[in-house]
A and B are shown apart, each in its own frame.
Chain A
Amino acid sequence: MSDKCIYPYFELRFSLPTLKSTKTIFLFLFGLLTFLTSLNEAQALPLFSRQTGQNCITCHAGGQYPELTPYGRYFKLTGYTIGTRQDIPVSVQFVGGAATSTNGNNGTGQVHQSGKLEPNYLFLDVGGKIFDNFGAFSQWYYAFDEQISGGGKIPNQNQFAADVQDWRYADHYVGDSADTLSDVIWGASLNNYAGVTDVWNSSPMWMYPYMGSTRNSSTYGLPYNTRLSAYSIHNPGYGAYVYLNQNFYAEADLYQSGGPGAFSWMTYPASNNNPNSAPVYLQGLNPYFRFAYQSDEHRGHNWMLGVLGANINQYASCSSLSLASCGAINSPALSAGTVQYQDRAVDGQYQYLVEPHAVTAQARFTTESISDPNKLMYSNPTNSTNSFMSKVSYVYNATYGAAVAFQNINGTGDKHYGTNAVTGANLNPNSTAWIPSIWYQIFQNARITYQYTAFTKYNGGTINYNGSGTNASANNASWLYLWLAM
C-alpha cells in the first residue's frame, strides 16, 4: 500500500490524457479546486510555494514569474527538493485575456483573435519534491484555440498536452569553505525541451515575453526564430549538469525523436496519426550544451555570462513532403535525409534585487547555420540566421512592473519564409520587434499585464513586405491578460 502512495505523480500523468472534452476538464478542475479549498492552509497552492512555505518572490525576481532569483536557481538546480513533501503535489494556472491587432487585422499570425476576453491556457502542474534527491516540474496544458506563427498549423488546439517536463535528480556537496572546491551541485534531468533545464532567463526557453496569447502569435514576438528558442526543440531529452562553487555551470543533454516509445508521454499528444500535432523526428541523439559563469551575489547585484548551443538533425514529416508510400500523415520521411541545424549562442543576465527594487536585464545572441542539401524544408541547400533577443525590466515592491524587449533576426532569403506575391522572390526572415509591457501584481499569484508588440520590420520589409501590401506594423498586437496561479 505504501509503495502505491509514493507515486501519485505517475497516476496523474496517465489519467490526464484520457480527459478529452472541455467540459470534463472544467469539471475535473472544479472538483479539484473544491477539494483543495477544503484543505487547511498548510496545503494551499501553488505547489512549490506550498512545499517551502515561502512566497513566490523568494524564487521569482520581483515576483515576475518565471524569472528566477539566485535562491530560485538553487531551488531548481537542487531538484525542487527544498521543503516538505506535499500530500497533494498539484497546482493549477489560468491565463486569459483579450488580444487584438492594433493596425488592421491582416497580419499573418492573427487568424483567431476576436479582441474579446477569452481563455488561453489552463495549466496543471504536478511534482515538486518526491525524494531527498529527486523532484519534478511537470506541467500539462490545455490550449484554447492555439495557433502558431504562419497562420497554418494548429498543434494542440483544444486538448490537453504535455508542457514543460523536468524530472530531476540532484545532489549537493558542501565542503570546507577554505577548500578550492567547496561546493558542488550535480544532477541529471529527464526533460522535453532543449533549454528547459536552464536557470537563467537569457536562455532560450525562459526568456521574456513570459506569456503569449493562443489567439495572436505576434504576442510572442518574432515570427521566425532560431531552432534553439522557446518551445522549439520539443523532444524527449536527458542530460547531466554540474555547478561548481555556485559559479561555474556546465550541462549537456541529448534529445531524441518525440514519436512512439517510452518517452512519448513527454510530447503527448503528438503522434504519426494526429494531423494537428506531428512528433518531431530527429536522427539519433542530438546534443545540447550550456556553460555559464555566475558571479557571486554582492550587495544585491549578480550577473551571468554564458554560451550554449545545439546541433539538431531533423527528418521531414510525410505530410510536408507529400511523398507516396511514406506512412501515416505525420510519420517521418526517414529515407529523404535530414535538415541540420547548428545553433551557437552567447547570453548574459544582470539582476539587482534589493526590495523594493528589482532590476533585471537579459540578452542573447544566436548564430545559426541550416543545412538542407535535399531541400526538404528550405529551397536553398544552406541558410543562416543571426538573432538578438533582449529585455530589461523593473518591478517596484513586487507589485508594479514594466519591461521592454528588443528582438531582431536576420537571415538569408528562402522560400521557407514565403514569397513575394508580385515578384515571386523569396522572402527572408529579417524582422524586428519591440515588446513593452506593464503589469500589476494583485496578489503574488495573480498578475494583470498589458503587453504590446510593435514590428518595425517583418519578413524583410517595413512597407509592403510581401507584395500584397502588408506592412510590418499590420502584425502589431496588444494583449491584456490575467495570469492566475493556484
Chain B
Amino acid sequence: MVGNVMSHKRTIFNLFKALVTVGLGSLALVQLGCTNFNDVPPVTTLENPSRSRTIGDYPVAGKVLAVQVCAACHGVNGYSNSPIIPNLAGQQKDYLVNQLQDYRDRSRSNKNGVLFMWGMARNLSDAQILELANYFSSLPAKQVNTEYVNDSRLARGKAIFEKGIPEAGVIQCNSCHGANGRGMATFPQIAGQHPDYILQQLKVWMHPDEKEFMEVGGNTWAPRTITFARPRGALMINNVKNLSQQDADAVAIYLSTLQ
C-alpha cells in the first residue's frame, strides 16, 4: 500500500520533472532563437564570404549567390539542364529585377515559383537582386537549340510570333518581345527558352483561375489555396485566352529555336 502511494508520488514527480524540462527547454530555445542565435555576427575566420551559400543572415555578394546557389539549377552559364527551369543567360535585367522582387513579395505565384523561388528570394536584399540581375543579364545568350529544327510546327509558331492570330485576338509576340524575341527592359527575352517552361507560363495566363491547395515556402504547418498568377504579365491574359493548346505548343517550340 505504502509502496503504491510512493510509486504514485514518484510518477507525479517524474511528470512534474518532465514538464519543467519541457518548459525550461522551450524557454532556452526561445532565448536562443528569438534573441541571440541569428544575431551572431559572421565569424570571419570561419565564414566564407567569397564562396557562401548563405541567404539572409548577412549580405553575400550577388555574384557569389549566383554561382553558389542559383547555378545549381540555372547553370553557371545561365543555361539550365532541366526543361522546367528557365535559361537566364542574356535575360533582360529589368525583367529579372521585377521577377525576383515579385517572388520575394509573393505576387508572382506560378506553381514552380511558389515551390522553388519564393524561398530562394524571400531574404534577398534589393542590392542582391540587382547584382543577380546584372550577373545573368550579362551572360552571353549563345547556346543554340537544335532539337526542334525539323519540327513540322515551326512554321505555325513563326507565323504566330510574327503575325499573331488576328481572328482570335492573339497579338504577334514580336510586337513587345522584339523582332528576334530578345525582349526589351521589362519585357522578357523569350528566344532560346525551354518550350516546357514557356508552356507553363502561357498556362498561367490561359487558365487564370487555376488554383491549388498546397503548402508553400517551406511552411509545412499552414497549407493554403494558391491561385497561380503572374500579375505583372496580366497583359498576356487577353492575348492568349483564345490560344489553342496546339498553337501554344507551336509558339513554344519556335521560340526555343530563335537566336
Residues on A lying within 8 angstroms of B by beta carbon are 1-2, 4-6, 8, 11, 15, 19, 21, 23-24, 27-28, 30-32, 35-37, 41-46, 49-55, 57-58, 70-71, 74-75, 78, 81-85, 87-88, 129, 131-134, 171-174, 177, 182-183, 296-300, 302, 353-355, 443-445, 485-486
10 A-B pairs with C-beta separation under 8 A: A8-B32, A24-B14, A27-B19, A28-B25, A35-B29, A55-B218, A57-B115, A78-B68, A172-B53, A444-B215
Specify the chain B residue showing the minimal Cβ separation from A41.
B219
Report how far A87 CA is from B39 CA in the complex, Å.
10
Contact, CB under 8 Å: A82 / B220: no
Counting chain A CB atoms within 10 Å of each CB, which of B28, B53, B57, B67 scores highest?
B53
Question: B76 to chain A: which residues have CB within 8 Å?
Answer: 174, 177, 182-183
Specify which of B18, B25, B36 is in contact with A15 (CB 8 Å cutoff). B25
Counting chain B CB atoms within 10 Å of each CB, which of A46, A132, A134 scores highest?
A132
Q: Does residue B47 face the partner (Cβ distance < 8 Å to A)?
A: yes
Contact, CB under 8 Å: A443 / B223: yes
Contact, CB under 8 Å: A49 / B218: yes
Question: B228 to chain A: which residues have CB within 8 Å?
Answer: none
Q: Does residue B26 face the partner (Cβ distance < 8 Å to A)?
A: yes
Nearest CB on B from A37, distance (A): 6
Specify which of A27, A172, A300 is in contact with B18 (CB 8 Å cutoff). A27
Q: Does residue B38 face the partner (Cβ distance < 8 Å to A)?
A: yes
Specify the chain B residue showing the minimal Cβ separation from A130.
B46
Contact, CB under 8 Å: B53 / A82: yes
Specify which of A31, A37, A44, A87 is in contact with B34 (CB 8 Å cutoff). A87
A354-B196 contact in complex given A28-B22, A46-B220, A297-B81, C-beta closer than 8 Å: yes
Specify which of A6, A177, A486 is in contact with B220 (CB 8 Å cutoff). A486
Nearest CB on A from B34, distance (A): 7
Contact, CB under 8 Å: A354 / B84: yes
Contact, CB under 8 Å: B123 / A84: yes
Question: B32 to chain A: which residues have CB within 8 Å?
Answer: 5, 8, 87-88
Report how far A87 CA is from B30 CA in the complex, Å.
9
Contact, CB under 8 Å: B81 / A296: yes
Question: B254 to chain A: which residues have CB within 8 Å?
Answer: none
Specify the chain A residue showing the minimal Cβ separation from B42.
A132
Specify which of A55, A85, A296, A445 is in contact with B57 (CB 8 Å cutoff). A85
Q: Does residue B77 face the partner (Cβ distance < 8 Å to A)?
A: yes
A31-B26 contact in complex given A42-B122, A131-B46, C-beta closer than 8 Å: yes
Nearest CB on B from A183, distance (A): 7
Question: A27 to chain B: which residues have CB within 8 Å?
Answer: 15, 18-19, 22
Question: A41 to chain B: which residues have CB within 8 Å?
Answer: 217, 219, 221-222
Specify the chain B residue showing the minimal Cβ separation from A49.
B218
Report how far A182 CA is from B67 CA in the complex, Å.
11
Nearest CB on B from A438, distance (A): 22
A55-B216 contact in complex given A24-B14, A27-B18, A28-B25, C-beta closer than 8 Å: yes
Contact, CB under 8 Å: B25 / A31: yes
B95-145 contacts to A, CB under 8 A, are 112, 114-116, 118-120, 122-123
Specify which of B14, B51, B72, B221 is in contact with A171 (CB 8 Å cutoff). B51
Q: Does residue B21 face the partner (Cβ distance < 8 Å to A)?
A: yes
Contact, CB under 8 Å: A31 / B23: yes
Specify which of B36, B69, B222 is in contact with A5 (CB 8 Å cutoff). B36
Specify which of B81, B119, B221 is in contact with A83 (CB 8 Å cutoff). B119
Contact, CB under 8 Å: B72 / A74: yes
Q: Does residue B37 face the partner (Cβ distance < 8 Å to A)?
A: yes
Specify which of A2, A134, A353 is in contact with B40 (CB 8 Å cutoff). A2
Report how far A78 CA is from B216 CA in the complex, Å.
24
A177-B77 contact in complex given A1-B36, A5-B37, A443-B220, C-beta closer than 8 Å: yes
Contact, CB under 8 Å: B82 / A486: no
Nearest CB on B from A27, distance (A): 5
Question: A4 to chain B: which residues have CB within 8 Å?
Answer: 36
Interface flags, B2-30, vs A, CB<8A=1, else 0: 00000000000011001101110110111
Contact, CB under 8 Å: A44 / B40: no
Q: Does residue B245 face the partner (Cβ distance < 8 Å to A)?
A: no
Question: B43 to chain A: which residues have CB within 8 Å?
Answer: 131
Counting chain A CB atoms within 10 Å of each CB, which of B68, B119, B220 scores highest?
B220
Question: A182 to chain B: which residues have CB within 8 Å?
Answer: 76
Question: A353 to chain B: which residues have CB within 8 Å?
Answer: 82
Q: Does residue B169 face the partner (Cβ distance < 8 Å to A)?
A: no
Q: Does residue B180 face the partner (Cβ distance < 8 Å to A)?
A: no
A-B residue pairs, 3 tightest by C-beta: A53-B119, A31-B22, A87-B33
Specify the chain A residue showing the minimal Cβ separation from B52.
A132
Report how far A199 CA is from B71 CA in the complex, Å.
19
Question: B112 to chain A: which residues have CB within 8 Å?
Answer: 355
Nearest CB on B from A474, distance (A): 40
Question: A2 to chain B: which residues have CB within 8 Å?
Answer: 36, 39-41
Specify which of B30, B51, B57 is in contact with A172 (CB 8 Å cutoff). B51
Nearest CB on B from A358, distance (A): 12
Report how far A10 CA is from B216 CA in the complex, Å.
30
Question: A43 to chain B: which residues have CB within 8 Å?
Answer: 33
Specify which of B25, B42, B72 is in contact with A71 (CB 8 Å cutoff). B72
Report how far A250 CA is from B226 CA in the complex, Å.
43
Contact, CB under 8 Å: A132 / B28: no
Question: B114 to chain A: which residues have CB within 8 Å?
Answer: 55
Question: B120 to chain A: which residues have CB within 8 Å?
Answer: 52-54
Q: Does residue B237 face the partner (Cβ distance < 8 Å to A)?
A: no
Question: A302 to chain B: which residues have CB within 8 Å?
Answer: 81
Report how far A133 CA is from B50 CA in the complex, Å.
11
Specify the chain A residue showing the minimal Cβ separation from B22.
A31
Contact, CB under 8 Å: A297 / B82: yes
Contact, CB under 8 Å: B40 / A5: yes
Question: A1 to chain B: which residues have CB within 8 Å?
Answer: 36
A445-B53 contact in complex given A87-B34, A298-B81, C-beta closer than 8 Å: no
Report how far A445 CA is from B222 CA in the complex, Å.
11
Question: A297 to chain B: which residues have CB within 8 Å?
Answer: 81-82
Question: A174 to chain B: which residues have CB within 8 Å?
Answer: 51, 67-68, 71, 76
Contact, CB under 8 Å: B67 / A87: no
Contact, CB under 8 Å: A82 / B18: no
